C-alpha cells in the first residue's frame, strides 16, 4: 500500500500537462518513492529518496502528441 503527498512546486505532468503530481511512498520497499500523476497515471521510476523522485519528475520530457 502506498501513501500520497503533494510536494510544493512540482512542474505540470509531462504527459497530460496537469498539475496533479503526487509523491507516492511505499513503506518497506527498497525504492519507496515515485511521483505519479493522479489525472493520467504517468509516473517516475521508484527511487530511494523523495528529492530524487522530484528531480526526475522535473526532468521528464513532454510526451509527444500524435
Per-residue pLDDT tens for 3-53? 666 666 899 999 999 999 999 999 999 999 999 999 999 999 999 999 999
Question: Is-contact 36 53, C-beta < 8 A?
Answer: no
Q: Where would I find the beta strands (DSSP E) of 6-53?
A: 21-25, 33-37
Residue with cell 523523495: 50
Q: How far is CA 35 from CA 26, 47, 66, in A?
A: 11, 10, 24
Phi, psi for residue 21 in degrees, rounded to 5: -70, 140
Domains of the chain, residue spans:
3-59
Is the per-residue pLDDT at 58 higher than 80?
yes
- Predicted pLDDT at 9: 85
Alpha helices in the chain (DSSP H): 50-59
Is the per-residue pLDDT at 62 higher than 80?
yes
Is the per-residue pLDDT at 1 higher than 60?
no
Amino acid at each position: 500500500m502506498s501513501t500520497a503527498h503533494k510536494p510544493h512546486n512540482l512542474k505540470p505532468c509531462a504527459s497530460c500537462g496537469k498539475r496533479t503530481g503526487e509523491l507516492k511512498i511505499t513503506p518497506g520497499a527498497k525504492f519507496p518513492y515515485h511521483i505519479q500523476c493522479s489525472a493520467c497515471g504517468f509516473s517516475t521510476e521508484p527511487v530511494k529518496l523523495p528529492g530524487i523522485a522530484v528531480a526526475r519528475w522535473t526532468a521528464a520530457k513532454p510526451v509527444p502528441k500524435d
